[in-house]
Structure 1
């Protein structure tokens, strides 16, 4: 999600609730009880690398939603009976019961879910069902991980809360897909990568629940070079070009829970190489090209309730050029920011006056080729810039972070590693 509020884990915090330390203690107790009752059966779903960081405690946590209707999401075939350990999939830890067990797990970091899934088949089934993430969305609990690709067909992820690099399996090899333009989109617990085969568009889908790649569902009107953004389990894509190169004005909505595409009303202007964001509950398409030479300076706002588009003149003036990358934009706390790659500056959008205000500079060591190869994303309440210097001996990728405030940007390097320093694709998954 794009609207997280907390430094560590974004939450909608009510007036009173139990301290998270109590939940951590209870979770540790139930995990120890479970591991003593039955040994781990499988390895963690997500291979994690690096040192474990210490997670700061949030002072409060929200009430737990009703979880009695989530049983249908579990695979009933996972119920145990032959060995006498677990006769009912609803009873994960007999002394605590299913509901309290789930309530504890909701407060755990999703970095720990892979280990929890290895305890026994009941926990594994629960983690892979996605029920916990659905309940976390209802509670307003969100952790944002950054997924990016600096090498073709290879992705990696970074957890800024624990300071960990997470290994992602390689994408299935495909010569045509490797050479085509690719877009990426993180929605729900999925990472979608869009590309082309010889004559058609394809989608590859990475599931965080299974830590694996599989073919994704193709759009009703397949395309590339589009603008997109996600909000929870849903995402909107707009514009782009079809397999024949025709520039599109159409738009679609994707639901990751049902893995379905819904055709939306068309925009007022056809555009490619545009960008998309959610802000104030509405979807915005910013900039782009109306042809190979005509740069669009207008944006468009889509109201999900009214199902209509409104043109916003001059919304993206100066953010992209005919030979440059799509506008590098991101939303933090419902405020829109942009990276001016020509001037290496950070700008903030003034909603009332429909104007851009220069705040300061981008990180010094972040370089790009007319905006290509540089990632600028929102990660909870942070802005993240991913890039790095290039040299004859290879490159270094750096993740720079800044929490917007009233002053100029003060970038901090939160992670770096030897890698290709050209970022091909980047997405932030919040769940």
Structure 2
């Protein structure tokens, strides 16, 4: 199993002659990947099932658009793209097949390879750092999901389940107040956003996979913490939470990672904090939470992106969390909603027609939690992942257990483990 940094450039640029030989090799390798029936998103093991991505039409333009209808992908047999074979200067892409075909080949590479590809020459580096490849991958439905999580307040790691590879992110900037405040995380587009607090204000830190660096993120129109959120492509929605004075909010906002802007949405029917957010069936849902420090909410709310309205769903989160517990641990795979009942250590599935929960079976036995805190339950492509560890002196080991939902009770597979600790502070899944 490889362990590496997530930086784009790991060595000096090669000489021109070295580039030419590498281009020939890379052209062969890339065309092999392009013509292969197995997409780069196939995960080793688990019966070779691929993580599929969904293509959906754009919502009504009157509401915020979260999903785009992809255009036709470039013709893979078209060798007359820009920068064709006659162009062999050191700033070209794969000159033997042309720029358009070069880009089309790169789209079908695993994003684990982008760091090595960026070291070939300036054009590869510029292309990958521009984010253009990720925009095209999103349009053509080519998605790989990596899980990012933190077991130490300022340190983050990522796990690539396709290559079974760990990636260490740069350490977050040190800030004493930020370290000890409540934090939320959200993956959107090619960014990981971490939200926290200073003494009297909120802070957003932004990690970009394009630059492998942290920078200040853009604050919301109504800064908050303890909110519910979810990302879909390059956009995300946050709802509820508390402001700097502790007031519980019913407001919601949409974030666009490409424009770096927040847009205020209509407010929910009920203010709530400590809630969870998910996307399902082209709609955004807020589940559970607290209306006050003592009042537990069992209702959910559904936001229709086309109509721009919220609808209350009674008893949607009944039994999923307690007054002193973590927000509901929920995840969506193939437009089906699942929950981890941390009290009973069970997995449940939501019955949309009857607005009820069906118990499927057990969670993995080893991961512990403190009323749900310290345990992550996430959708990662076509699989559900449980991240956590057994409590131990001197750190402990984090385990990633995976299950691709199908008929019958869950059958968890241990896909990775690492000596990082035993408590997950924050977790997000980035699909790009």
TM range (shorter): 0.7 to 0.9
The 5 A counterparts of 1:211-230 are 211-230=212-231
Structure 1's consecutive aligned runs of 4 or more residues displaced over 3 angstroms after TM superposition are: 34-37, 53-58, 60-68
- Separation in structure 2 between the aligned mates of residue 368 and residue 156 of structure 1, nearest angstrom: 20
Q: Which residue of 1 aligns with 2:117?
A: 116
CA contact (8 A) 1:86 1:92 kept: no
Matched residue SS, 1:222: coil
Q: Which residue of 1 aligns with 2:128?
A: 127
CA contact (8 A) 2:149 2:428 kept: yes
- Separation in structure 2 between the aligned mates of residue 224 and residue 416 of structure 1, nearest angstrom: 30
Name structure 1 gaps, 5 residues minimum.
1-28, 38-52, 69-78
Q: Is 1:32 equivalent to 2:22 in the alignment?
A: yes
Q: Which residue of 2 aligns with 1:332?
A: 333
RMSD: 2.5
CA contact (8 A) 2:392 2:422 kept: no
The 5 A counterparts of 1:2-13 are none
The 5 A counterparts of 1:11-410 are 32-33=22-23, 65=72, 86=89, 91-410=92-411
Matched residue SS, 2:396: strand
Q: Which residue of 2 aligns with 1:18?
A: none
Q: Which residue of 1 aligns with 2:11?
A: none
Query: How big is the shift at 1:393?
Result: 3.4
Q: 1:36 to 1:264 in 2, by over 3 A?
A: closer
Query: How big is the shift at 1:93?
Result: 2.4
Query: How big is the shift at 1:30?
Result: 8.6
CA contact (8 A) 1:35 1:119 kept: no
Query: How big is the shift at 1:32?
Result: 2.2
CA contact (8 A) 1:64 1:103 kept: no
The superposition leaves residues 327-361 of structure 1 with CA deviations (integer Å, 9 ceiling, x where unpaired) of 00000000000000111110000000000000111
Matched residue SS, 1:169: coil
CA contact (8 A) 2:73 2:140 kept: no
- Separation in structure 2 between the aligned mates of residue 143 and residue 180 of structure 1, nearest angstrom: 32
Matched residue SS, 1:390: coil
- Separation in structure 2 between the aligned mates of residue 355 and residue 408 of structure 1, nearest angstrom: 18
Query: How big is the shift at 1:65?
Result: 3.7
- Separation in structure 2 between the aligned mates of residue 393 and residue 31 of structure 1, nearest angstrom: 49
CA contact (8 A) 1:156 1:166 kept: yes
TM-score where L is the length of structure 2: 0.82
TM-score where L is the length of structure 1: 0.82
Query: How big is the shift at 1:34?
Result: 6.4
Query: How big is the shift at 1:390?
Result: 1.5
Q: Which residue of 1 aligns with 2:32?
A: none
CA contact (8 A) 1:34 1:119 kept: no
Query: How big is the shift at 1:313?
Result: 0.2
Q: Which residue of 2 aligns with 1:3?
A: none
Matched residue SS, 1:391: coil
Query: How big is the shift at 1:198?
Result: 1.3
Q: Which residue of 2 aligns with 1:412?
A: 413
The superposition leaves residues 277-322 of structure 1 with CA deviations (integer Å, 9 ceiling, x where unpaired) of 0000100000000000000000000000100000000000011111
- Separation in structure 2 between the aligned mates of residue 36 and residue 109 of structure 1, nearest angstrom: 13
